[in-house]
């Protein structure tokens, strides 16, 4: 009975070449060059084909289980863990890490991928990548720090939605600081940036997107045009006072480090929080600082091209409480009142400021208010309403000028002689004129 062999086109080509060697039409060296094999391997194939026929060209384990296959019981334990509801959505790489960490089952990532594909637990995600120009990393730590926030359902419905703010170094891909916050707004960015600055110092530049927190998306005002100044946000103004450049990215892909990082966090961090049973922002921040960020940096961070850390220290002149505040320009009214946010701030006596003097009101992160003028802070108190002042001192439109009425004079005798009696008509009748 003839045995049927399943051979690919490559197997047929190799068999033809080996037959040419056996028949003397090719030398071993020539066949080795054609098949990209060593000459000794060509000799072994010739021996097998002589002894076994055409089947000798096939691998000895073709159609048989691999000698390096994993134990069936071990694979069953892995599948039992993968079917745990808490592991829903885990990918091959993350599943392999958690099996090793929690169940001491060591399998290769490729083995996990094949196992999960065969059992239908996981399906690959295919994307069509758009070509982007590659940007080289900065050489030193602190030269460029990418800053961004990602609102997401981090607790998968177990807790409120929140935003994860990440500061990642461009040179090493290390997460230098991260925090869960309620929302990404200017006061929150001021507070988290203050924490970063106190821990690491001042970087050379922050790389951010074109959110309204970082750039003014409207034309300059008349005063700014007269000063030939571009409008800036509170965050950009604060970073300018600290000597930190704010660079705007023109697309999300430009901030590749932090954007791709959020894809990883929304996959892995969400599942880590699920496994840890965390559902509050406070517990998540502790887990983020002490567990997740150190583990993430060990796995994904790279060494910088230059080991020098170029973060600059905070100087004694850098009053972060004042710099990282919401600052507004206001003027002093005639009654020593400064209006701010629908509040009446009455300056203390002896402030020495003339009406319409410009002052700066600082609304700090601890919800306190300061009034500064030319480098000094003024004493004041908040009053419920404006105090009463005389009408002539109150700023506003001028009062209407009364109409001039001349005084009555005694009659002049010269004009009295020509005075017409009231009984006589002033004008003669028409009949008298016609006659």
> 27-36, 70-79, 134-143, 263-272: lowest mean pLDDT where?
70-79
Supply the pLDDT for residue 168.
93
Supply the pLDDT for residue 412.
67
pLDDT by residue (tens digit) across 103-127? Answer: 777 777 887 788 777 777 777 776 6
Query: What values do phi and psi take at 212, rounded to 5?
Result: -65, -15
Supply the pLDDT for residue 202.
94
The token pair that represents 110 in the structure block? 């490729």
Mean pLDDT throughout 391-403? Answer: 59
164 vs 210, residue with greater confidence: 164
227 vs 51, residue with greater confidence: 51
256 vs 171, residue with greater confidence: 171
Could you tell me if 149 and 179 are in contact, meaning their C-beta atoms sit under 8 angstroms apart?
Answer: no
pLDDT by residue (tens digit) across 207-261? Answer: 998 888 888 876 656 665 555 556 889 999 999 999 999 998 877 666 677 888 8
Residues 210 and 280 in one domain: yes
Could you tell me where the beta strands, DSSP code E, fall in 182-223?
A: 205-208
Mean pLDDT throughout 18-47? Answer: 87
Give the chain's domain count: 4
Report the C-alpha gap between 153 and 105 in whole angstroms: 31
* Mean pLDDT computed over every residue of the chain: 82
Residues 256 and 192 in one domain: yes
Residues 80 and 210 in one domain: no
In the predicted structure, residue 372 carries a pLDDT above the cut 80: yes
Domain edge (last residue) among 255, 284, 300: 300
The token pair that represents 217 in the structure block? 């998306």
178 pairs with which residues across the strands?
166
Question: Which residues 6+ apart lie within 8 Å of 112 measured at CB?
Answer: 78, 92, 93, 95, 96, 99
Q: Confirm whether 362 is domain-assigned.
A: yes
Question: Per-residue DSSP letters for 250-290?
Answer: SSGGGGHHHHHHHHHIIIIIHHHHHHHT--SHHHHHHHIII
Residues 181 and 150 in one domain: yes
Q: Confirm whether 64 is domain-assigned.
A: no
3-state SS, one letter per residue, for 345-365: EEECCCCCCCCCCEEEEEECC
pLDDT band at 415 (very low <50, low <70, confident <90, very high): low
Supply the pLDDT for residue 227.
55
Supply the pLDDT for residue 278.
92
Could you tell me if 165 and 184 are in contact, meaning their C-beta atoms sit under 8 angstroms apart?
Answer: yes
pLDDT by residue (tens digit) across 304-340? Answer: 998 999 999 999 989 999 999 999 999 998 888 899 9
Q: Confirm whether 312 is domain-assigned.
A: no
> How far out from the chain centre does Cα 17 lie?
61
Q: Confirm whether 168 is domain-assigned.
A: yes
Residues 281 and 209 in one domain: yes
Angle ∠(152,155,157) on CA atoms, nearest 5: 95
Supply the pLDDT for residue 167.
95
In the predicted structure, residue 137 carries a pLDDT above the cut 90: no
Here the CATH number for the domain that contains residue 153 is 3.30.420.10
Q: Confirm whether 413 is domain-assigned.
A: no
Residues 268 and 150 in one domain: yes
Supply the pLDDT for residue 18.
87
Residues 330 and 361 in one domain: yes
Supply the pLDDT for residue 55.
78
Q: Confirm whether 19 is domain-assigned.
A: yes
Residues 277 and 173 in one domain: yes
Could you tell me if 74 and 111 are in contact, meaning their C-beta atoms sit under 8 angstroms apart?
Answer: no
Q: Confirm whether 333 is domain-assigned.
A: yes
Residue 292: give the domain boundaries: 145-218+229-300
Q: Confirm whether 259 is domain-assigned.
A: yes
Residues 237 and 333 in one domain: no
Angle ∠(310,311,314) on CA atoms, nearest 5: 140
Report the C-alpha gap between 293 and 289 in whole angstroms: 6
Residues 35 and 77 in one domain: no
Return the exposure string of 1-37: e unless at least 16 CB atoms fall within 10 Å of the residue's CB, then b.
Answer: eeeeeebeeebeebbebbeebeeeebebeebbeebeb
Residues 107 and 171 in one domain: no
Residues 177 and 293 in one domain: yes
């Amino acid at each position: 009975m003839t045995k049927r062999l399943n051979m690919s086109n490559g197997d047929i080509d190799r068999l033809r070449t080996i037959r040419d060697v056996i028949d003397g039409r090719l030398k071993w060296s020539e066949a080795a060059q054609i098949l990209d094999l060593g000459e000794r391997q060509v000799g072994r194939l010739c021996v097998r084909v002589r002894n076994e026929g055409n089947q000798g060209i096939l691998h000895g384990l073709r159609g048989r289980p691999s000698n390096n296959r994993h134990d069936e019981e071990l694979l069953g334990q892995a599948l039992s863990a993968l079917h745990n509801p808490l592991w829903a959505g885990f990918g091959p790489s993350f599943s392999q890490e958690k099996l090793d960490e929690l169940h001491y089952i060591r399998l290769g990532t490729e083995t996990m991928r094949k196992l999960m594909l065969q059992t239908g637990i996981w399906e690959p995600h295919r994307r069509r990548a758009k070509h982007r120009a590659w940007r080289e990393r900065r050489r030193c730590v602190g030269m460029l720090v990418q800053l961004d926030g990602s609102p997401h359902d981090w607790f998968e419905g177990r807790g409120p939605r929140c935003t994860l703010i990440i500061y990642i170094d461009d040179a090493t891909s290390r997460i230098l600081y991260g925090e869960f916050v309620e929302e990404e707004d200017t006061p929150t960015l001021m507070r988290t940036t203050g924490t970063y600055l106190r821990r690491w110092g001042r970087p050379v530049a922050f790389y951010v997107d074109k959110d309204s927190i970082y750039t003014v998306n409207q034309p300059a005002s008349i005063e700014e045009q007269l000063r030939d100044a571009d409008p800036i946000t509170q965050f950009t103004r604060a970073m300018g006072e600290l000597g930190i450049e704010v660079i705007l990215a023109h697309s999300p892909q430009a901030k590749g480090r932090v954007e791709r990082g959020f894809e990883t966090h929304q996959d892995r961090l969400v599942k880590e929080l699920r496994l840890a049973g965390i559902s509050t922002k406070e517990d998540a921040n502790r887990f983020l600082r002490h567990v997740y960020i150190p583990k993430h940096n060990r796995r994904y961070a790279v060494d910088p091209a230059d080991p020098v850390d170029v973060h600059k220290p905070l100087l004694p002149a850098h009053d972060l409480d004042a710099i990282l505040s919401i600052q507004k320009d206001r003027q002093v009214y005639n009654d020593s009142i400064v209006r701010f946010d629908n509040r009446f701030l009455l300056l203390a006596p002896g402030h020495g400021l003339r009406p319409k003097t410009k002052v700066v009101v600082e609304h700090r992160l601890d919800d306190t208010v300061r009034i500064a003028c030319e480098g000094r802070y003024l004493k004041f108190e908040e009053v419920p309403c404006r105090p009463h002042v005389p009408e002539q001192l109150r700023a506003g439109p001028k009062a209407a000028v009364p109409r001039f009425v001349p005084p009555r004079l005694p009659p002049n005798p010269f004009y009295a002689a020509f005075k017409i009696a009231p009984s006589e008509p002033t004008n003669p009748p028409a009949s008298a004129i016609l006659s």
